[in-house]
Amino acid sequence: MSGKTVTLSAAMPGALPEGEKMEEMLLQERIGTEAFREKAKAVSPAYRVSDRTPPTLLLHGTGDKVIAYSQSVTYLERLQAATVPSVLITVEGANHMEPCLFNSSSLPLFT
């Protein structure tokens, strides 16, 4: 890492009105509607990349059934296009929140 801090990225601050939770905001709209898509896009870190985005480390399993692996690939492409230092570690077959994602011995970053 050569002295650089790598941050696990989440939705950027300021994406939501003060005191509002993402789940509450999104659930006000019917899933699949244009209004839902617009609100989801507003809180998606992939659409909030800027020169202020910190260096980002992404960990994603190809077997994730909650968040499509392609979303991390898209996010990485946008980070790289904005010249944000970023890395995507792909864990073949891992599902969402699978323990191997948190086991340092199974990640190439630590071996």
pLDDT tens digits along 19-76? 555 555 556 777 778 887 887 787 788 888 998 899 998 988 888 888 889 999 999 9
**Amino acid, single-letter form, for residue 86:** S
DSSP alpha helix (H) spans, the chain: 22-27, 34-43, 69-81
What is the distance in angstroms between the CA of the first residue and the CA of the last residue of the chain?
13
Q: What is the pLDDT of residue 78?
A: 94
**Amino acid, single-letter form, for residue 95:** N
In this predicted model, which residue has the larger pLDDT, 48 or 97?
Answer: 48
Query: Any idea which of 1-15, 34-48, 92-106 has the lowest mean pLDDT?
Result: 1-15
CA quadruple 67, 80, 35, 28: dihedral positive or negative?
positive
Tell me, yes or no, if the pTM score tops 0.75. no
Scanning the structure block, which residue is given the tokens 């939705």? Answer: 11
The band of 2, judged by pLDDT with boundaries at 50, 70 and 90, is very low
Q: What is the pLDDT of residue 46?
A: 85
Scanning the structure block, which residue is given the tokens 């002295």? Answer: 3
In this predicted model, which residue has the larger pLDDT, 42 or 6?
Answer: 42
Whole-angstrom distance, CA of residue 45 vs CA of residue 79: 10
